[in-house]
Structure 1
Amino acid sequence: MGEIQKSRRNAHFRYFQNREYWHRSFKLHGAGDLAPGSPVSEYLAAANFQVTGFSGTQATRMQVAQLADITIAHAHAPSGTALWPRDEISRHRAALVLSPNGDVSVSGAGVLTRSPGIALIPPGISEVEFALEQSSNELVFIGMSASLIADIPLPSTTDGEPIDAGVVDGAFRMLTALAQSARREPTGPPLRHAVAEMTRSIVHLMRQGSPLSQPLFDRATEAILLDISNSKLSADTLAPRLGVSARSLQLEFQRHGTTVQRHVRGLRGAAATRMRRENVEIDATTLAQTFGFGSKSALYRALAETAGGAASSP
């Protein structure tokens, strides 16, 4: 093994495999902050990212959370360019980029893009380029084990009509909140699960055709999954995102033999049940907050109604 590759492996282990759950904040005031030995350059080297162009017109701020096999980074940055020269260490990594604010382009072999501002980077070793075109850009980068989305068939192209901007904005807000939460959370597994669920929902959304060609019930289900931690989900808050009235949405759910609130509760209960199975020591308060339950009693009721959920308090 070459010295460069050995050094990369050592740095990668130190940052990502020796510490499963952690949070870091970075701020770049100029190119000098990228000098060898600086905290930012050490992190970028471990992550195998290179800043290839940096305007330095304003500070770059970045929050990075490591959640086991998922890395989530929320960045505010000026115009510039970056490169992910993927290698054997990152062969089995995929990534999702959301950039509804600014102008961020992601290019490379196999990269799938969808308006507004979504890019999916499948696993591989070909390099990926990032270009931030405006003077102010905001983005979320989710790096993940390819196994997280391995069961989702990816399209050869994503030429469908733009995804509803309100849905994307809701997903973006949730992911940025989760990145911030990692700084305060004493345990990482609940956050990791929430990010994983959100990421899978966005990938499912990308592979579909025009959202408006989907049945309203399916569109509503996707919108719920993308904002499942929001305790205020209701027909009134969902309808504007879907371009229909609250009454039309309620009637659609009636045709499916349910109500908006019952469906929301069922989806939350199913997600909470999966997390509970994966993390048997998780406390009820964290579980309720992660999936938008207003109280622990509401969580217990949803678990009791969900197939495989427990009928009694954990």
Structure 2
Amino acid sequence: MPFFSTQGILQQADPRCWQDHFFGLTPARWARLAGCAFWITGAGTGYGRAIALALAASGATVFLTGRRSEKLQETLDEGVCLGIKTDQCIPIVADITSESDLIQAIELISRHVSKLHGLVNNAAQPQPCSGNRPLTELSLASWNELMSVNVTGQWLLTKLAMPLLINSDSLRIVFMSSEAGWAYTSGFGPYNISKSALNTLGASLAAEWAGHFPDKDIQINVLIPGEAKTEMNQASTISPYSVVSMTLTLLSHPSGGPNGCFFHRDGRHLEFAYSPSYVNDLLVP
């Protein structure tokens, strides 16, 4: 049975019953997503697949990016099995660390839409195996690869997508981070650092864009998706759809909502560095 967290965010929603629960959104919030255009990275598996299909179910146009075309096709196939129309899902094979790939992706998106209403930076890479002391033993090449995917690629993609996002008066960006961004766990130092940097990237970008575009309704936030069964965590029994309710809550939020804030998938409002927890209700109509 699905249940709501104390913050009212739906947890453990069965994606097969999406027409009954709308992933915890009210009908009004669900309707806000219809007709909008969203770009999801890492959309071939895990959280990215779940978020992309939930957005497609709402009637949004969804651009799905991943490095493997076969995984993007599996996402579309899963949508069909769930009774979700995928005719407005456009798969784009691209590596977010490649500037040329991203430029081509944006050119393709621009042929379909004149603006993007939202972006979910979900693509990520786990820490390479490097012994018990990765901060001492990890090679420079492995370090650069990890940071390129988990930080630099997300900055580059968002930077290049800015013109399409700013064309929308109301834009939403969600950076998928990790509790590792708060952690100092021995053996995972490089990954912890990459997620801590991503936290700062999300909050800094939120401040910069809000200051530079005061006439736009900008909501850029960081979401901690928690544990679920993904390619990076095969041992978990939790569905990656567990993150959908909170992600859609942020993407569908009316004007005047959070910007530069941190949240957990269960609805908790978090603090990070100089960013205090968000004090308002996320579930306003």
Q: If the TM-score is normalised by the length of the shorter chain, which range does it land in?
A: under 0.3
Q: Output the TM-score relative to the length of structure 1.
A: 0.26
Larger radius of gyration: 1
